[in-house]
Amino acid sequence: MRVTSKGQVTIPRNVREKLGIVPQTDIDFREDKGRFYIVKTTKTRRTNKFKKFRGIATSKMTTDEILQLTREI
């Protein structure tokens, strides 16, 4: 296996199938006594940073007001 310049590797098909890894699956790397393991995580995907603003803008707000609201993260 070769690591790309971006630090990426391709997980072999047989490993993906055994672990049930499909596109968009969250995985993690765990270390135990100097060995690293790939494990599927049960965590939910990170939420969109703008999700908390969904539904709070009204039609009475200007585009500039909405942009200002999102820039105050």
pLDDT per residue rounded down to tens, the chain (73 residues): 899 999 999 999 998 898 888 988 888 899 999 999 988 887 655 566 767 767 776 678 788 887 887 786 5
pLDDT for res 58: 66
pLDDT for res 64: 86
Distance CA 47, CA 52 (A): 9
Distance CA 70, CA 52 (A): 10
pLDDT for res 63: 83
Dihedral of CA atoms 23, 25, 31, 32 in degrees, nearest 10, equals: -110
Two tokens at 57? Answer: 């803008």
Distance CA 28, CA 19 (A): 12
User: Is there a contact between 27 and 21 (Cβ–Cβ < 8 Å)?
Assistant: yes
